[in-house]
Structure 1
Amino acid sequence: MSTAIRPPALATTPPPRGGAHRLAPHHWTIGEYRQLARAGLFHDVKTMLLHGELYVMPMPNPPHDMALNLTYEFLRVVCPAGHYVRNQQGFDIGTDNDPGPDLAVVLGSIRSTTTTPTRAALIVEVADTTLFTDTTTKAELYATAGVPEYWVIDLEHRQLRVFRDPQPLPAGLGATAYRTHATFGSTDHVSTLFAPTVSVSVSDLLP
Structure 2
Amino acid sequence: MQTKEAPFTLRLWTVKEYQKMAELGIFHPEERVELIAGQIVKMSAKGTVHTTTVRRIANVLRDKLQGQVDVHTQDPVQLNDFSEPEPDIAVVKLDPLDYVDHHPTASEVYLIIEVADSSFKYDCETKGKAYAKSGILDYWVLDVNNRKLHVFREPTQEKYQSEVIFSQEAIISPLNFPNLMITIADILPPKQ
Shorter-normalised TM range: 0.7 to 0.9
Which runs of structure 2 are paired with 1:124-203 in the superposition (5 Å)?
124-166=113-155, 168=156, 175-203=157-185
Whole-Å separation in 2 of the counterparts to 1:58 and 1:180: 27
SS of 2:159 mapped into structure 1: strand
* Helix, strand or coil at the partner of 1:136: helix
1:55-99 per-position Cα deviation (integer Å, ceiling 9, x unaligned): 111110000001100001111123375521111111112211112
Q: In structure 2, how many angstroms separate the alpha carbons of the residues matched to 1:110 and 1:126?
A: 29
Distance in 2 separating the partners of 1:53 and 1:70: 30
Matched residue SS, 1:183: strand
In the superposition, relative to structure 1, how do residues 200 and 83 fare at CA in structure 2: closer, same or farther (>3 Å)?
A: closer
Match of 1:97 among 83, 86, 90: 83
Contact 2:148–2:168 under 8 Å retained in 1: yes
Matches within 5 A, 1:104-115: 104-109=90-95, 111-113=97-99, 114-115=101-102
Partner deviation per Cα, 1:90-115 (whole Å, 9 max, x = no partner)? 11122111122111111123843120
Gaps in structure 2 of 5+ consecutive residues: none
User: What is the CA–CA distance in structure 2 between the aligned matches of 1:199 and 1:65, rounded to whole Å?
Assistant: 23
Aligned-residue offset at 1:42: 4.0
TM value normalised by structure 2: 0.85
Tell me, yes or no, if the aligned pair for 2:37 and 2:130 is still in contact at 8 Å: no
Q: Is the 8 A contact 1:124 1:153 kept in 2?
A: yes
Aligned position for 2:72? 86
Q: Distance in 1 between matches of 2:149 and 2:95?
A: 27
**Number of residue pairs aligned between Structure 1 and Structure 2:** 185
Deviations 1:103-136 (A, max 9, x none): 1111123843120121211001011111111111
Task: Give the RMSD, CA atoms, in angstroms.
Answer: 2.3
Which residue matches 1:37? 22
Secondary structure of 1:146's counterpart equals coil
Q: Is residue 151–residue 160 contact of structure 1 (8 Å, CA) maintained in 2?
A: yes
Distance in 2 between residues matched to 1:147 and 1:19, nearest whole Å: 42
Q: Distance in 1 between matches of 2:54 and 2:17?
A: 28
Alpha-carbon distance between aligned partners in 1 of 2:125 and 2:7, rounded to the nearest angstrom:
30
Partners of 1:51 and 1:96 within 8 A in 2: yes
Q: 2:105 maps to what in 1?
A: 118
- State the secondary structure of the residue aligned to 1:195: coil
Displacement after TM superposition at 1:27 (Å): 2.0
- Which is worse superposed, 140-149 or 56-65? 140-149
Q: Which residue of 1 aligns with 2:50?
A: 64
Question: Residues of 1 paired with 2:68 and 2:169: CA distance?
Answer: 31
Q: TM-score, normalised by structure 1?
A: 0.79
Q: How far apart in 1 are the matches of 2:165 and 2:96?
A: 32
Counterparts of 1:186 and 1:145, CA distance in 2: 29
Q: CA deviation at 1:206?
A: 1.2
> Residues 33-60 of structure 1, C-alpha deviation per residue, up to 9 Å, x if partnerless?
1112222314102111122111111110
